[in-house]
Amino acid sequence: MEARRVAITGIGVISPCGLGTEAFWTGLLSTAPEGLRHVQDFDPQPFFDNPKDARRSDRFTQFALAAAAEALAMAGDIPGDPARHGVWIGTGIGGLTTLEEQVLVHDQKGSRRVSPFLVPMLMSNAASAAVSMRYGWQGPCETTCTACAAGTHAIGNAFNLIRHGRCDAVITGSSEAAMTPTGIAGFTNMTAMSGECLSRPFDRDRDGFVLAEGAGVLVLEEWESAKARGANILAELMGAASNADAHHITAPSPGGVGAIACMRMAIDDAGLTPADIAHVNAHGTSTPLNDAAEAAAIEAVFGPAGPPVTSIKGVTGHSLGAAGALEAVSIVLAIQKGLLPPTAGFANRDPEMAPIDIVIGEARPWSPGPTLSNSFGFGGHNGCIVIGPAD
C-alpha cells in the first residue's frame, strides 16, 4: 500500500505560559519567567460531565482532555468509522500526583482509606483511555512512555497508523503533571534542575532545566479525507524516526551520535534532505550535557550554515513527556504566524558549543518550510518528527 499523507487539522494546548493556543503563542513571545513552571488557573470541570468524574482523574489526564477538546473543536466534525479513529497520548511519568497523595493517605490514615480509583488514575494509559471514551474513538488506543521523548514518539506512532492505512484519524500528543514535592525533590537531588531556577537553553551559564507541566494535542487525518470534508489543514506531518543511544541512563551519547542518526532518519523518512529543513525545534533543555550534544549533532547534520534553531523551554520550562507535543503545537503556530519564537533566557553564547544559528531576542520572520523537531529522553530515547506547511 502506498504511504498516505498526513494532515494536521487541530491543535490544543495547556501550558504554563497560556491555556489555549492563542495564549500559548503570546506566552512564547514573552520574556523568560523565573521559578518552576506550574499551569495556573486551570479548571478541569468544563471537560467532564460532573465534578465527581473530574475528581476521579489525575491532573495529567485532565490536561489531556482539555487540550483534546480544543484540538477537536478546531478540527471540526470528522466523519467515518469510529473503529478507524485512534488515540495515542504519551506521558513520561503518568499519575504521579495521585500516587503521592494516596501514599500519604495510606501512611497517615491506613490502607482502608486508599482510594479505589488509585490504579485507574495513576496508570500511564489513563489519558489515552479518557480521550477515547470521551469521543467514542474505537480504533487503537495506546500510550508511549519514553521519558522526555514520549510526546514526539506518540505523534510519530500516530502518524504511522494513518500513513500505513490502519487509521483515518488519530488524536495524539502527550501530557504531564509530575510536579509533586517528591518529584521536584527527585529531580533536584539528581542535579538535573537549575540551581537558580532559570531555563537558559544553549546559554553559556545554563545549569539545568526548570521543571514544568502541561499537555499538547494534535488531530491528525489522512490528507485526502481531510481535503474532501473541507477541513482547514494547518500543516503536514511529513516524517518520523526513533532510535536509542544505548549509552547511559541520563547522559546523551558523546557528540550526539544517537541524535545525529535519529535526525537523519526523520529527514529521510519525510523524503527530504538536510538542505530542505528550514527550522530546527531543538530539545534544548538548558542542561550542560544535553545542549552541547544537541548543538554538535545539529552542526553534524546541517553543517556550519544550518537552519535557525529555537528552544521554547526558556519560556515553558521542561514538561518532561509533554515537551514534544507542546513543541509540535508551537511549530504549527510558527507556520501559521510566519514567525519563529525566540529562545528566551539566552544571554551569552557558549564559546565551547557548536556555532548553531539560535533565534534570540525577538521573534524572527521566516518563510515557513519543513521543521525538524527533536526530543531526547532519559534512557537514551531519541525521537524526531518533521512538520511542514500545508501547501
Catalytic residues: 148, 283, 318
Quick one: which of 169, 216, 176 has its CA closest to 71?
Answer: 216
* CA 89 from centroid of its chain's CA atoms: 10
User: How far, in Å, are 100, 102, 132 from residue 113 at the CA level?
Assistant: 14, 9, 30
Instruction: Spell out the alpha helix ranges (H) of the chain.
Output: 21-28, 51-55, 59-75, 96-109, 118-122, 126-135, 150-163, 181-189, 223-228, 257-269, 288-302, 313-316, 323-337
Angle, vertex CA 281, rays to CA 236 and CA 276, nearest 5: 60
C-alpha 384/C-alpha 259 separation (Å) is: 9
C-alpha cell of residue 168: 483515518
Is residue 374 within 8 Å of 306, Cβ to Cβ? Answer: no
58 three-state secondary structure: coil
C-alpha 329/C-alpha 211 separation (Å) is: 19
List b or e across 236-253, with b for residues whose CB sees 16 or more CB atoms inside 10 angstroms.
Answer: bbbbbbbbbbeeeeeebb
Q: How many helices (H) and strands (E) does the chain have?
A: 13, 13
C-alpha 308/C-alpha 371 separation (Å) is: 10
